[in-house]
Amino acid sequence: MTASLDLGLHALRAAYRAGTLDVGRTVETVLQRIAAAGDDKVWISRVADAELRAAAQALDARRGEIETLPLYGVPFAVKDNIDVAGLPTTAACPGYAYTPDASAAVVQRLVAAGAIVIGKTNLDQFATGLVGVRSPYGVPVNPFDKDYVPGGSSSGSAVAVSAGLVSFSLGTDTAGSGRVPAGFNNIVGLKPTPGLLSTEGVVPACKSLDVVSVFALSCADADAVLAVAGPARKTAAFGKTFRFGVLSAADAEFHGDAAYAALYAEAVAKLAALGGTAVEIDYAPFREAAGLLYGGPWVAERTAAVGAFMEGAGPDAGIWPVTHQIVMAGKDYSAVDAFEGQYELAELKANAYAQMASLDFLALPTAPTIYRVSDLAREPVLFNSHLGHYTNFVNFFGLSALALPFGFRPDGLPFGITLVAAGFREAALLAFGGRWQRAVPLPLGKTNSVLPPAAVDPVVAEDRVPIAVVGAHMSGLPLNGQLTALGGRLERAGRTAPVYRFYALPGVPPRRPGLVRVAEDGGAVELEVWSLPAEAVGAFLRQVPAPLGLGSVALDDGSSVPGFLCEAHAVAGAEDITALGGWRAYLRTLPV
């Protein structure tokens, strides 16, 4: 059981619910796998084995609370620029280390939901890099080939998930650090919209751009973590048919990696087969914004974060030379540069938004290629910048993104794509990502885990408005198409509370219904509750003429929903049809 245990979040929860697994056995599995991995450079610090066993025992004693603890007994790792109480935070710099008394806000939420912190993971020092090699703690071993970079800066967090050491992990993402490692480790990388998840207790890289990211084996697992880590945000789902932005041949840059180029073309074709229409974009504004992050005044924000520490640190602090070079370059920029950069960014963002307005998302390579560790020794800055070619702009523009696996080069190294959507579209991205993972069956990381059942795939919690209808907008009646054309969905059929009189308003046929609330002698009326996307309600209301208007309709189960009521003055001379119980019954009384 231990060797084959599936650490997928939903697999663990199913086993816990069935009573075939306890948390103690899960923790023992994690400890055995970490020991078997040896000196893989994944961890900077870990919770003591005895403490982990005690935490498992405490959770096993709370087995009856499984349904109220959505992450019950789920082991996870935390990037070592995110605080965990009692463990040192180093940001991969020994001289910077401090031990916090409290965990970061996002960690607190996960632990309160039953998750277990296993330890703190390695990273590119001060989250400055996309390669995973800029750390005095070593280079985390890419599970697919130790000679190749694991991606950064969230290197250890990605490897921990891909290698099956934990169920999920937290990273951070400023320029791609939560996506590039996902692509190089064949896992899912969710980069939320800036501001969605709290960054309290996170060592800043570029404070205005930083986000906490999530690595997982499946979109279903990432969705479960997001549901705990941050506030719920309702959104519309991508439809069965959708439009997605792709690179033109002129804009596609793979730095000579023909295999990555071919895989990207295949991924675009797969998206089209799933119902998408590919639309070529002009990548120039995205590319130019990406260039601002390290080639513009935003470097100074890294200087603001840790520059003073670097200036005062001694030779034994363990500062990585390339990191020092990058961070201290921020001193070369002036306040004028900062303002001019903001103006330039605003223009680029407006151009990008105009292109994205008619698209559901962009589909880009997560990275243009992958490098050997030895390559980075030769070109530490240039090759790192290459890896951010398709990622650096996303936080600048306030967008959401999801890195997804899509196959392998002939040498077995993973390739992935990233879907980039408007801000706060995480739920829609994860729902589509779940569909993608079922259509593109692949190993999950470098594990033997399997996709969780389709029943737990992410579902979009849409911002929809319920509307009660009592007349021709009901199913099968002449005006129902006004609802369905706007994305209307039948939620349930029912009856009003017995507090209404119901009328067939006078006028040229077809007549309209009038529902009026009364203080006495009321009756119950058949209705249907439909829902519309919030943004479609206005368009629907414009199609409904006076004297009908939207009000609160009381239902027979004691609840109330918005629905159509009639102004009382309009029923003078109208036929009272309350006794018939509904509009369909009334229509049956009319001559054919």
Task: Tell me the catalytic residues.
Answer: 79, 153, 177
Residue 481 CA to residue 469 CA, distance in Å, equals 13
Residue 303 CA to residue 330 CA, distance in Å, equals 5
For residues 341 and 330, is the Cβ–Cβ distance under 8 A?
Answer: no
DSSP string, 86-133: TB-B-TT-GGG-B--SS--HHHHHHHHTT-EEEEEE--SGGG--SSS-
Under 8 Å CB-to-CB from 344, ≥6 apart: which residues?
288, 292, 296
Residues pairing with 550 in the sheet: 564
Among 325, 339, 253, which Cα is nearest to 296's?
Answer: 339
Structure tokens at 199: 């960054």
Among 476, 468, 591, which Cα is nearest to 540's?
Answer: 468
Greatest C-alpha distance within the chain: 96
DSSP string, 447-511: SS--PPPGGGS------EEEEEE-STTSTTSTTHHHHHTTT-EEEEEEEB-S-EEEEEE-SSSSP
Residue 201 CA to residue 442 CA, distance in Å, equals 35
Structure tokens at 337: 């540069």
- Give the 3-state secondary structure of 249-284: CCCCCCCCCHHHHHHHHHHHHHHHHCCEEEEEECCH
How do beta strands 489-495 and 526-533 pair?
antiparallel
Residue 556 CA to residue 494 CA, distance in Å, equals 8
Residue 10 CA to residue 16 CA, distance in Å, equals 10
For residues 562 and 552, is the Cβ–Cβ distance under 8 A?
Answer: yes
